Amino acid sequence: MAPQAETSEYLEQSSGLNNLDRPQVAILDFGSQYSHLIARRVRELNVYCELYSCLVSAEDLGKHKITAIILSGGPSSVYDEGSPHVSPEVWKLIDERNIPVLGICYGLQEMAHVFGGTVAAGLKHEYGKSIVKRTEGCKSKIFDGMPEEFQMWMSHGDKLTKIPDGFAPVACTDNAEFVTIEHAEKRMWGLQFHPEVTHSPLGKSILENFVIKIAGAKPDWVMKDYANEFIEEVRKKVGDGHVMGAVSGGVDSTVAAVLMTRAIGDRFHAVLVDNGCLRQDEAKNVLKRMRDDCHVNLRCVDASDRFLGLLKGVTDPEKKRKIIGGTFIEIFQEEANRIESELGVKCEYLLQGTLYPDVIESISYKGPSAIIKTHHNVGGLPASMSLKLIEPMRELFKDEVRELGMAMGIDEDSVWRHPFPGPGLAIRILGEVTAERVKILQQADKIVIDELRSSGHYRKIGQAFVVLLPCKTVGVMGDCRTYENVASVRCVETTDYMTADFYHLPYDVLATMSSRVINEVRGINRLCYDISSKPPATIEWE
């Protein structure tokens, strides 16, 4: 199991969604990369839900009005020593309150393990799309209104070899006999597949059957409430104090900044850091848009030389991320001091537009998940940071933030921009980052984005960018030999940025891009197209 990141304080410092009184669905997280997707899907049904560690105590869980419990997947194997398990007291609570339970993947295995079934390592790992076949004549409520066969996404190595007494098998695949089991009386269901991912087209029906039809949760929670709740909460928390904001002008920090501006007006001091690795003219454009269109009190700190100096000679992706994350915070701290000396006001809090995917991939959050990469705004934070974090969107996904932005009336261009990572071009320049390489990449990036816009593909793509590779290739130009850099274009289709497919960009658009980049950008003589999906690749290359 991957170790806990050193910034565990992050979790204590940051505040996200926090609603105690509402009836809710509780997700017990065993560390799956998809746990929050379950939350996201449940919220899409307009049902309020919260995530808990799978190790939550019955006392803590019992304080809430729980309408249903979902056990997530996870990287462990139930039969391994030290693997995480729901406490017997929580099982007792479930029994006493007759709470319906849905186990997904590891969650199903956990349920089987606890109730006397057998889970063993399968001979074959099952990874990807699979056809689930319902047991003949089965009338299980979990599949209400669904066809006899449907496609679901699998990601497991273990499988159920014997189901517990009292449970009945209700579906199988060619690889596994028991991919869905139920105990209708105990109100328990287990799924070996992942209904929460977009690659399971009918997954939402299963979650709806469970949450609404079986558990009877009321679909009355909407995104719009979120803005109002946050504004109220922040006003209470901050009082007449001041808040500083890390604002890149990206989708997330724009929405966060507008929320904060609506809550406290000019007592919000937004700071854009130019780390020397932004897109071409980005700082200038963001300043204009945020000030003029969004009325956010924003200043820009040009720290290009400082960042590029610190990145000199650094090639390791995680090192780059940590240097950038740490320096960002140093700068915010310095800016807070400057604001204090200039304006005589003290900023106690720092607003960040952190989203759920930034968190889950960076640290072990609420469940024993593996660390994939350190997002600059989460795992890169120094333990010594004195500003307290406010991260209104820490539990949300990009598409939910967009929905929130639209509900708040923020302009479409801001809401539908492609995400751009905080470490910026530094993690798209593989190998050492230098001012010269940044410039080459900025030019290529601009051409590719312009071509996507003019060909009408920009909005259909989740994210598009260019990566500069750390190798050179031979070319021939005007009868002369060239020995220049290779770049790769990456365009992905995704809604939540947790899973993604490469975008099928037509050859004619690729051809124009390639000819423009190679002809117009000095220093690139070869352009490739990245055809990997996430997983197993990630969206960024570093």
Ligand X SMILES: O=c1[nH]c(=O)c2[nH+]cn([C@@H]3O[C@H](COP(=O)(O)O)[C@@H](O)[C@H]3O)c2[nH]1
Residues taking part in catalysis: 105, 194, 196
What kind and span of H or E run contains 188? strand 188-191
Q: Is 279 in the site for ligand X (CB under 6 A)?
A: no
Contact residue for ligand X among 269, 376, 402, 437 (CB under 6 A): 376
Q: CA-to-CA distance for 291 and 270, rounded, in angstroms?
A: 10
Contact residue for Mg ion among 189, 397, 420, 541 (CB under 5 A): 420
Q: Which 88-127 positions form the footprint of ligand GLN (CB under 6 A)?
A: 105-106
Helix and strand numbers (H, E) in the chain are 16, 18
Q: CA-to-CA distance for 330 and 274, rounded, in angstroms?
A: 14
Q: Is 75 in the site for ligand GLN (CB under 6 A)?
A: yes
| Residues that bind ligand ATP in the complex, under the rule CB under 6 A | 246-248, 250-253, 271-273, 275, 352-354, 358, 377, 417, 419-422
Q: Compute how many residues bind Mg ion; rule: CB under 5 A.
A: 3
Sign of the Cα pseudo-torsion (131, 132, 135, 140, in order): negative
Of 106 and 349, which has the nearer Cβ to ligand GLN?
106
Q: Sketch the per residue contact string, 523 through 542, with ligand X: x for CB under 6 A, - otherwise.
A: -----------x---xxx--
Q: Compute how many residues bind ligand X; rule: CB under 6 A.
A: 18
What are the b/e assignments for 87-104, b being 16+ CB within 10 Å? Answer: eeebbebbeeeebbbbbb
Q: Is 254 annotated as a binding residue?
A: yes
Contact residue for ligand X among 423, 437, 442, 467 (CB under 6 A): 423
For residue 423, the partner it binds in ligand GLN, Mg ion, ligand X, none, with Cβ less than 5 to 8 A by kind, is ligand X
* Tokens coding 173: 């695949």
User: Of 40-48, 150-158, 160-168, 406-414, which segment contacts ligand GLN by CB under 6 A?
Assistant: 150-158
Q: Give the Cβ contact number of residue 198 at 10 Å.
A: 18
Question: Which residue is nearest to ligand GLN, using beta carbons?
Answer: 73
Length of the chain: 542
Q: What is the 3-state secondary structure (H, E, C) of 261-325?
A: HHHHHHHEEEEEEECCCCCCCHHHHHHHHHHHHCCCCEEEEECHHHHHHHHCCCCCHHHHHHHHH
Which residues, 6 or more positions from 439, have their beta carbon under 8 angstroms from its beta carbon? none
Nearest Cα to Cα of residue 57 among 25, 18, 86, 26: 86
Contact residue for Mg ion among 33, 180, 192, 248 (CB under 5 A): 248
Of 190 and 419, which has the nearer Cβ to ligand ATP?
419
Q: CA-to-CA distance for 370 and 1, rounded, in angstroms?
A: 7
Q: Is 205 annotated as a binding residue?
A: no
Of 113 and 320, which has the nearer Cβ to ligand X?
320
For residue 353, the partner it binds in ligand ATP, ligand GLN, ligand X, none, with Cβ less than 5 to 8 A by kind, is ligand ATP
Q: Is 439 in the site for ligand X (CB under 6 A)?
A: no
Contact residue for Mg ion among 250, 357, 392, 462 (CB under 5 A): 250
Q: Is 25 annotated as a binding residue?
A: no
Q: Is 36 in the site for ligand GLN (CB under 6 A)?
A: no
* Tokens coding 418: 């492609």
160 phi and psi angles, rounded to 5 deg: -80, 125
User: Of 69-77, 92-100, 417-425, 478-486, which segment contacts ligand GLN by CB under 6 A?
Assistant: 69-77
CB of 320 to ligand X, least distance (A): 9
Of 261 and 354, which has the nearer Cβ to ligand X?
354
Nearest Cα to Cα of residue 202 among 150, 251, 239: 150
Q: CA-to-CA distance for 23 and 277, rounded, in angstroms?
A: 45
CB of 42 to ligand GLN, least distance (A): 18
CB of 159 to ligand GLN, least distance (A): 7
Contact residue for ligand GLN among 16, 74, 103, 379 (CB under 6 A): 74
Nearest Cα to Cα of residue 388 among 15, 86, 90, 93: 15
Q: Is 394 in the site for ligand X (CB under 6 A)?
A: no
Q: Is 40 in the site for ligand X (CB under 6 A)?
A: no
Q: Is 7 annotated as a binding residue?
A: no
Contact residue for ligand GLN among 158, 182, 395, 530 (CB under 6 A): 158
CB of 537 to ligand ATP, least distance (A): 19
Of 304 and 538, which has the nearer Cβ to ligand X?
538
Return contacts of 507-514, CB within 8 angstroms, 24+ apart: 509/451, 509/452, 509/455, 509/457, 512/451, 512/455, 513/447, 513/448, 513/451, 513/489
**Residue labelled with tokens 């991320």:** 321
CA distances from 303 to 225, 273, 283, 442 (A): 38, 7, 11, 17
Q: Is 252 annotated as a binding residue?
A: yes
Output the known binding site for ATP: 248-254
Binding site for ligand X (CB under 6 A): 321, 357-358, 361, 373, 375-377, 419, 421-423, 463, 497, 534, 538-540
Binding site for Mg ion (CB under 5 A): 248, 250, 420
Query: Which residues bind to ligand GLN, rule: CB under 6 A?
Result: 32, 73-77, 105-106, 155-158
